[in-house]
Amino acid sequence: MLQSGRISVLLGREGKQMLPIIGQQWRKTGLVLFRQAAALFGQMVRCAFGLGLNGKFRPKKRAERIRRGQSCTAGVSFGKMQLRRRMAFACCAFQKFDAPYGIFRVAKAQRVNPPQKELCLCIARVRCWGKQCDSLRKLSPLKRISRSLHIGERRRGEDAGGKGKFTHWIVLYCAGLFAGVAQAQELPKALVAGDFAQYPANEVAFGRALFFDPVLSGNRNISCATCHNPRYGGSDGQALGIGEGGTGHGAGRQMGQAVGRQARNAPALWDLGARQVRRLFHDGRVEWQGAVIRSPAGELLPEGLNGLLAAQVLFPLIARMEMGGHPKSNEIAAAAQQTAPQAWDRIADRVAAIAGYREMAGHDDINIALLANALAAYISTAFRSTGSAFDRYLEGESTALTADQRDGMALFYGVAQCSQCHSGPLLSDQTFHNLAMPPLGPGRIRRFDPVARDTGRLAVSDDVRDSYRFRTPFLRNVAHTAPYGHNGAFPTLRAVIWHHMDPLVGLADFIPPDTMPHWQDVTELNRIRAAFLAYPRAAQVPATLDSQQIDQLIHFLHSLSAPSSSTLSRDQMNLQTVPDTVPSGLTPVGD
């Protein structure tokens, strides 16, 4: 995605010579413009398919940053292509372009101070008009930049008003539209059923039984639904969940006999089965690399998995603080101390010994891949956030969003810069960013790391630039999946938005909840600050917003929620309901 852009077009130095010069260059300039349009279209296609960008808007060598009320001193062209003749206009000031924009009224120019009596054009900043952007982009800006307009000459220090002011604004508008086409990041496509793989009903039913059955845990006392409760949006309502040894469910779960809390916040399950998903876990340690799944298991990952989600569900089953338990407490945890495949085989043998599961599977050959595929089929089918108000708006229902939600959407895709990272149908770029999130607990510590710290993506990539970076979370149903952050440090949407606006201040002023362990290592806090400052591009934060704008953003985030339970399909409601019984005969866990 292009990050910023300026277009500066200069006409001749004498007003009387404008029209003859333009006439002589008509064909050449038209050809160059056509090539530029083709290049822009190619760049947009490459961006849409993730092929990268070859060109950038970049100033010439002597181009200078200007202040409000002045013009720039040199032109800017796209890539290496330049107009043979440049058109000159007075302009207000230079501003950056930031994602999908329409054009708004340009402020009156105060003075023009170009070198050699040349006049310059600087495209003013534009703002998002929601769906009006789509209609604006349908216009052909190339056809609307007239070559016969007489702008009127402006001498050094003269005001930009007077004769030619109206035509100056028209050409500025059209040129701005041209720049907007190059810069615009369109609203994403609606999330629909076709974005998910379809699974046989019997496989989904098999996965549902496994999801709520504690038989998968080492000590048969915890299920997947303990930490991924449908009543809490597929999470547990806690900053750091309580796995093996805890008592109760959801936000009311207590420590009980648990040794400690989990290292990170339990991520919600919404849309994890979407075809667009490329990485899972907060640090992305399970991800697609081409057509191969990369995971901590490496070459030991079982064969026959039906996708990325099936690979992901394998690891909580044998994690000591999640479902595995202490190595001395059960055979699965003990096997996990040797190799992951040995522990997975123990789980498969336990399930295969249950007649009800053999009947559901349709055969006796039950292996861990079969169980993982069934769990993935259930999660992908039961936790789909299609049909939200935002999706309906994207599909053409103009009244789907309230006025506050539309204003919030304009901020989200405009000056707040949220869409820099929260892009696409899932509202995530699925890359990693350091937002100086305050530590809550020691986090997921790297093996052999002498310091108790959670370094995020660094533990996977071993690239120092990935220090304290975490994957951009999906925002579907975000209003129902509090608390927020990789460690659940922020209890409300307002709190995490405030932190985004000034991460370092948020880090310094963070007050942890009384019931949560807070890592007070000053040296570690300094490391987080240093990493944030060393690689600022990895921390995309919104512009400073006022309280009303934050309210509007929150209203928009609520529009990303799937329909309420009263409007869900009966099948999806049934899938999210805890079954009365499970084949193991144990009490279903999850409500």
Can you tell me the mean pLDDT for 317-322?
Answer: 94
Q: Looking up tokens 């509202």, which residue turns up?
A: 427
pLDDT at 215 over 90: yes
Given a cut of 90, whether residue 167 has pLDDT beyond it is no
Domain ranges of the chain: 15-183, 194-384, 417-542
Q: List the Cα angle 353/296/442 in 5-degree steps.
A: 105
Domain 417-542, CATH: 1.10.760
**Closest alpha carbon to 8 in 67, 55, 78, 56:** 78
Which pLDDT belongs to residue 68? Answer: 36
The per-residue pLDDT for 250 is: 84
> Cα-atom radius of gyration of the chain, to the nearest Å?
28
Q: Indicate the DSSP class of residue 320.
A: I
- Residue 537 is predicted with a pLDDT of 61
Enter the tokens of residue 345.
Answer: 């085989």
Tokens 């907007």 label which residue? Answer: 180
The pLDDT, as a whole number, for residue 14 is 37
Answer with the residue of higher pLDDT: 197 or 132. Answer: 197
H or E element, residue 180? helix 165-183
Instruction: Give the Cα separation of 525 and 451 in Å (integer).
Output: 13
**Residue 513 — very low, low, confident or very high, per pLDDT cuts 50/70/90?**
confident
Q: Exposed, middle or buried, 327 (CB in 10 Å: 0-12/13-18/19+)?
A: middle
pLDDT band at 48 (very low <50, low <70, confident <90, very high): low
| Average pLDDT of the residues of the chain | 75
Under CATH, which architecture does the 194-384 domain have?
Orthogonal Bundle (1.10)
| The pLDDT of residue 124 | 32
pLDDT digits (tens, 9 = 90+) for 395-404: 999 999 999 9
In this prediction, residue 92 has a pLDDT band, given cuts at 50, 70 and 90, of very low
pLDDT tens digits, one per residue of 56-69: 333 333 333 333 33
Q: Which of residues 575 and 388 earns the better pLDDT score?
A: 388
So what's the pLDDT on residue 540? 56
3-state secondary structure of 75: coil
586: left (phi over 0), alpha (psi -120 to 50) or beta: beta
The pLDDT confidence band at residue 33, using thresholds 50, 70 and 90, is: confident
Distance CA 122, CA 168 (A): 12
Residue range 392-420: average pLDDT?
Answer: 93
Range of 450-459, 460-469, 518-527 with top mean pLDDT: 460-469
